[in-house]
Amino acid sequence: MTMTTVTSKANTTAPSQVLASTNVQMAAAAILGMVVLMGVGFAPMDVAHNAAHDTRHSFAFPCH
C-alpha cells in the first residue's frame, strides 16, 4: 500500500521581500508623520484650532 501526500505552498514570498516591504511602510509612515507634524507646527493657530474643532464635530464630540 502506497500513501500519497499532497502539499501546497501557502506562502511564496521570500522573507527578505517581506522585510523590505515592512521597511518601506515604516519609512512612509514616518515621512507622513513628519509632514503632518510640521504642517500643524507651522500653521497659524486659528487654522490648527479650526481643524481640530471640525474634527471634533465630525466625530460628534461635544466641544462647546
Per domain, the residue ranges of the chain are 19-58
Give the end-to-end CA distance of the chain in Å, rounded to a whole number: 80
Predicted pLDDT at 61: 75
Predicted pLDDT at 18: 73
Predicted pLDDT at 1: 59
- The single-letter DSSP state of residue 14 is -
**pTM of the model as a whole:** 0.48
- CA quadruple 47, 51, 53, 57: dihedral sign: positive
Predicted pLDDT at 7: 66
- 48 close to 40: Cβ distance less than 8 angstroms: yes
In order along its 64 residues, the chain shows pLDDT tens digits of 566 666 666 666 667 777 678 889 999 999 999 988 888 778 788 887 788 788 888 888 776 6
